[in-house]
Structure 1
Amino acid sequence: MSRCWSDLEAVNSRLWEAELSPEPRRSQEKEKSSLASKASNSKKELTLLRQESRKNILLSVATFLLLPSSMPTGPCEAEISPASAVFPSVL
């Protein structure tokens, strides 16, 4: 995006500094318009990506905070139960 802005500044500079005939001036104006549009679209896309990133961070934090409270804190029942309780037909 910074390259797009620097290219746009270069085109603006050429438009103001040089004495251009109508055809080259139109070409420069067209390039300027294209670069300005590209820069604007890139800025909008970057804004959307940042918003999406913030949402993902908030979801991750919420999941992290909620998940541990719903998980068991001790060993599983199968690990502490006698074999007869887990496999009654074996004994």
Structure 2
Amino acid sequence: MADRPVPIVEKRLMDVKLGELGTWIGARDFTPNGIFAAFRRGYFRYYNKYINVKKGGIGGIAMMVVGYMAISYRWEYDHIKHDRWRKYH
């Protein structure tokens, strides 16, 4: 038995075809409350998948630390690039 067709609005990003991408993005909620809700859903999804498990490992926390390091490096890159040793002639 075939599954019922799902409206584009209810599909996840990975299930959207390239031709439907514009319609899918147009249906997103870009208000501050909608963006906050999206971040909250992402946090809870990450937490339940990697942190709140019976037999957890270091993987979930390591991903968070590496992500924090990458974001911190990106934020401070303008200051870091001026500290390079320069060869003066």
* TM-score normalised according to structure 2 size: 0.32
Larger radius of gyration: 1
TM-score, normalised with respect to structure 1: 0.31
More helix by share: 1
